[in-house]
Amino acid sequence: MGVVMSKVRNPLEPMSTAVKTVLMLFASLMGMGLLASLFVDNMSVLGIGEKLICATDTATIGVDEQPFPPFRPAAGARFKVDAHPGWCTEAPTAVQSLLNSTTQLVPFIFIVGALLLALWVIRSAARDGLYTAQTAERLRRLGWWILAGSVLTAIATSVAEKALIASLSLPDRGISAVSGLLSWDAPFMAIFTGLGVLSFARIMRVGVTMREDLDGTV
């Protein structure tokens, strides 16, 4: 009687499929957005080419319909009323366009970088094995990217947002790019995720060392 071998399921699923799917989705959306921007008016990709630029000060709550001096818009901008004060301009300067794109581009780079590193780890594990020094090292790099990258992304985005608000409001508002260094929101979930990945990478390195020691004693 022949022996029927059951197919071994990929231990990296469903993470492998999920990462590849999200990367393909990002690439498709970026490609379609860039293509559409060539033929469609007022089409922007990650803020690039955006004609109407708005910024909201989430640190302030409750503003009247008629803004008093600290909230008055700068020349070429207009004030909008919401739960938080906001400013918009339909004729952004080059600096304002750059700051607006930065607030969208930096988080995008962080997410795509994390996905690419995760795919790198998955391919390394599929080729070399889960419990190898190569996979543990690549997992460590992914952990540092998530940990440090999330913090730097939050700071850079906050600085760009505050600088954009400063350019859209009057100087007596008291907001500048420097204030973004003091008011950024800590990405606690990403920080703990990065710490968890780093811990798992350390556990894998210890396991690899123990296995090599055992192989050497046999």
pLDDT tens by residue, the chain, 218 residues: 444 444 445 667 788 888 889 889 988 888 887 777 767 766 777 777 788 888 888 776 655 555 555 566 777 777 666 667 788 888 888 899 999 999 999 999 999 999 999 999 988 888 877 788 888 899 999 999 999 999 999 999 999 999 998 888 877 666 777 888 888 889 999 999 999 999 999 998 888 877 766 666 55
Residue 161 near residue 177, CB atoms below 8 Å: no
Q: Looking at the domain assignment, is residue 198 inside a domain?
A: yes
Residues shown for the chain: 218
**In the 8-state DSSP scheme, what is residue 74?**
P
* Within a domain: 50: no
Indicate the SS3 state at residue 88: strand
Q: Which domain holds residue 122?
A: 92-217
Residue 85 belongs to a domain: no
What sign does the CA torsion over 23, 26, 32, 34 have? negative
| Cβ proximity of 183 and 59 under 8 Å | yes
pLDDT value at residue 3? 46
> Residue 131: which of 217, 214, 216, 201 has the closest Cα?
201
* In-domain check, residue 9: no
Is residue 87 one of the residues assigned to a domain?
no
Query: What token pair was written down for 161?
Result: 């947002």
Q: Is 53 inside a domain boundary?
A: no
Q: What is the pTM of this model?
A: 0.78
Report d(CA 151, CA 148) in Å as an integer: 5
Q: Count of alpha carbons within 13 Å of 187, Cβ hemisphere only?
A: 20
Residue 104 lies in a domain: yes
Q: Which one-letter DSSP state was computed for residue 169? A: B
For residue 127, being part of any structural domain is answered with: yes
Which tokens sit at 164? 């954009």
Count of domains observed in the chain: 1
Give dist(CA 173, CA 60) in Å, integer.
Answer: 12
- The predicted pLDDT at position 71 comes to 64
What pLDDT score does 114 carry? 94
